[in-house]
């Protein structure tokens, strides 16, 4: 069952919804970046109005059921601090190293 994000248009194939957690600004069906996890339907990050030169502010990805996804390996609730070695190993295998 797909999650209906309030205030967003229906998600089109190959697109992603964007949300600023600071001000609540939303953008429906934004262009997907090649680094976005394939199953991500929402990315939360600081918009240009709220990001005052913050470096490495980070982002959070969510799937259609609202579960958090690891931005490195694309799995559900993978804590980067705890699963760093596993994420790095998966990325290396993915890149063919």
Cβ pair 45, 24 in contact under 8 A? no
Residue 22's Cβ-count burial label (10 Å; 0-12, 13-18, 19+) is middle
pTM metric for this prediction: 0.69
Assess contact for 94 and 74: CB atoms under 8 A: no
Residue 48, pLDDT score: 85
pLDDT score, position 84: 47
Whose structure tokens read 């709220």?
Answer: 50
What pLDDT does residue 55 have? 65
- pLDDT of the residue at 83: 44
Give the pLDDT mean for 50-75: 77
Q: Average pLDDT of 45-53?
A: 83
As to burial, measured by CB atoms within 10 angstroms (0-12 exposed, 13-18 middle, 19+ buried), residue 14 is exposed
Query: Percent of the chain scored above 90 by pLDDT?
Result: 21
CB 30 within 8 A of CB 4: no
Residue 79 is predicted with a pLDDT of 54
């Amino acid at each position: 069952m797909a999650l209906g994000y309030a205030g967003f248009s229906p998600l089109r194939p190959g697109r992603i919804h964007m949300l600023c957690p600071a001000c609540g600004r939303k953008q429906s069906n934004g262009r997907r970046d090649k680094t976005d996890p394939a199953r991500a339907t929402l990315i939360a990050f600081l918009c240009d109005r709220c990001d005052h030169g913050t470096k490495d502010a980070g982002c959070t990805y969510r799937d259609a059921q609202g579960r958090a996804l690891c931005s490195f390996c694309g799995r559900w609730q993978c804590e980067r601090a705890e699963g760093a070695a596993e994420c790095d190993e998966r990325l290396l295998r993915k890149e063919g190293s």
